[in-house]
Amino acid sequence: MTSLETALPLTRDSIVSAHELIKPHIHLTPVHTSTTLSTIASTPQSPDALKGTPWEGQEPAKPKIKLFFKCENFQRIGAFKVRGAFHAVKRLIAEQGEGEVRRRGVVTHSSGNHAQALALAAKTFSIPAHIVMPSISTPSKIAGTRAQGATIHFSGSTSQEREAVVAEVIKKTGATLVPPYDHPDIIIGQGTMALEFERQVEDLIANTEGLNVRKGKKGLDAVITPCGGGGMLSGNAIALRGTGIRAFGAEPSFQGADDAKRGLEAGERITSVKTLTIADGLRTPLGEWTWKVISDQEYVSGVFSVTEKNIRDAMKLVLERMKCVVEPSAVVGLSVVLYNEDFRRLVEREAGDDGWNIGTVFSGGNTTVEAISKIFADAGDEQGERAEGVLGLDGQRVAENVAG
């Protein structure tokens, strides 16, 4: 990566500059809305749905919510990661020269989306790419990385196991490390989606009758993103600071995958996570750089977690109602909005009768029919009863999609 001495400051201005730099290499992904999902988000959960949860026996929250979805599943390689990868590679070329970067090559570790993103960015500039992937990575993500011409090295699933193999590759090849999330160049690149999201929602509200959650509101009140290593959440939070739009993070709770939430509660970063959550893109802990941003409430207003069932139910809604293919990691933010009563009470309390326009990021769509089938087969016959019950009130089964 570029030297930390020459790294850009973590500011909105840096993200604006990064956006101009990577625009030729990324898609302007659409923003969709769904009347059905906004209705579900604005409907209190049933007492039965809260049984067995920390909120059992409590009165359900009654927030008023309008949802907007930034569809990074339609991004190049099917995920937001190309933003950080192209920014990092172009910054590296500017610092070292294209010839030197080609001579040495680049290396990273990733479960799949950053792997594919860096492989694509490297291929674009004829740079050799070495990608360290956990052996349990999704086969489609391995195939996608290999299709970009990268050399794949397999490792264990923890960040420590991945980093050990990266060190071996660097020793043998001299390749330059491009981390998956914990570097200013990556964080700043990922933050470019927030610039687009903010503007696209303002344009949608200005040009679509009845789309706003309340009269007089011009744009978003909050953005919630999935959080694994924290690069996307950090970048979005930096881009949104000072705009009046609040940033939130979302994690799986399974087997301690909610390290950011637990770290915030304990007051220190958790450095190791070993989980097999179905949200495979969120199996890594926060890094030092991302922790600095996420632990600062001037940037991030809170991080919330959800269960595997919550994730499956949210994924099912998106597949069936929005007709949108997403991977499990992509719907963790939506899952928090629908099912986490702490978050829902926060919205009810702070938005009151006015409600909030909430932006959620669909971070990626790199999955397969076989993988989706297995996720729901493993879940047995769970069908997301609350969502089905709400939809059954009016018999509507088709979500409204509005492209930005």
Give CA separation, 9 vs 24, 52, 96, 174, in Å.
Answer: 23, 45, 19, 27
12-22 vs 192-207: helix crossing angle, rounded to 10:
90
Q: Tell me which residues are annotated as active site.
A: 81, 111
DSSP summary character for residue 284: S
What is the per-residue DSSP string for 145-169? HHHTTPEEEEE-SSHHHHHHHHHHH
Distance CA 378, CA 311 (A): 13
Distance CA 169, CA 159 (A): 15
Q: Give the residue among 223, 311, 310, 305 at the shortest CA–CA distance from 264.
A: 305
Give CA separation, 367 vs 125, 141, 372, 374, in Å.
Answer: 27, 8, 7, 11
Residues near 111 by Cβ (< 8 Å), separated by ≥ 6? 133, 134, 137, 138, 141, 157, 280, 281, 283, 284
